[in-house]
Amino acid sequence: MEQPIKILIVEDNVIIADDMQSMLEEIGYEIVDNVIVYEQAVEVLKSQQVDLVLIDIILASDKTGIDLGKHIRENYDIPFIFVTSNSDRATVENAKTVKPNGYLVKPFEQQDLYTSIEIALSNFTYGTGGKAADVASDDSPMSNSILKDSIFVKKQHLYYRIQFGDIQFIKADNVYLEVNTVDKKFLVRSPLKDYLGKLPKNKFYRAHKSYIVNVDHIDAINSKDIMINNNLIPISKDFKEFIISAMNS
């Protein structure tokens, strides 16, 4: 099932932090916590699931936001954005050393915050140390990036995380893919072959030139089709032989 993006706010000005939290919750993001110092942020990252961190560079502690960015880079595979009132060259150059996924200068509006988060999520490839991903074109209604047990899918103005296990099958439809879960469908602009490469190889297989299926969701099979959640899906000869062999092993 899709889940809203979970965000940790690290900001020592409580008024600004509360304002940021209100902006984010109004858009639809989930705030995991709102903390003011490095040590608190480290504890939250240890104990809770966090998808993205917003970090003030100057914190009310000996360690700065740049120290926290370095800690995240060394220990976690998530994007972070620096939020600061300092845009001078020295601060920017120092911030660049830990490769943040965004840099937002105060004061800012809700739209600025939303745009920075969306770009950071869109460009970040999970599982590769934060290297930039290929970004879908502007006319794509949805785009995605990989996570260890999930994939991000954009729906309207938010990225949702879909657990791999919830994906039942994927159908190619011209330049789009239709990603089917138990009760929802999402559109993604991507070649079927490329999308297959982002999914776990022990669960997802090319069943037909136009379909990828999650073998855990197969309910029935005959000589030409499989059934998943009352959907008949055509299969190739090779896939039929593979499934029958797997069933008999």
For the chain, the structural domain boundaries read 6-123, 144-248
**Range with the poorest average pLDDT among 3-12, 64-73, 112-121:** 112-121
Please determine, for residue 83, whether its predicted confidence score (pLDDT) is greater than 80.
yes
Please determine, for residue 142, whether its predicted confidence score (pLDDT) is greater than 60.
no
Please determine, for residue 143, whether its predicted confidence score (pLDDT) is greater than 50.
no
- Determine if the peptide bond prior to 200 is cis (ω within 30°): no
Pairing of strands 144-146, 30-35: unpaired
* pTM listed for this prediction: 0.56
With a CB cutoff of 8 Å and minimum separation 6, the contacts of 167 are 151, 179, 180, 181, 199, 204, 214
Higher pLDDT, 191 or 205: 205
What's the pLDDT band for 89 if we cut at 50, 70, 90?
confident
The whole-angstrom separation of Cα 81 and Cα 53 is 6
The whole-angstrom separation of Cα 249 and Cα 241 is 12
Higher pLDDT, 150 or 232: 232
Average pLDDT, the chain: 83
Torsion of CA 133, 140, 114, 76, to 10 degrees: -20
Please determine, for residue 158, whether its predicted confidence score (pLDDT) is greater than 70.
no
Which amino acid is residue 226, in one-letter code? I
The CATH fold of domain 6-123: Rossmann fold (3.40.50)
Does an H or E element contain 82, and which?
strand 80-84
Please determine, for residue 39, whether its predicted confidence score (pLDDT) is greater than 80.
yes
Per-residue CA distances from 72 to 98, 145, 197, 214 (Å): 9, 19, 27, 33
CATH superfamily of 144-248: LytTr DNA-binding domain (2.40.50.1020)
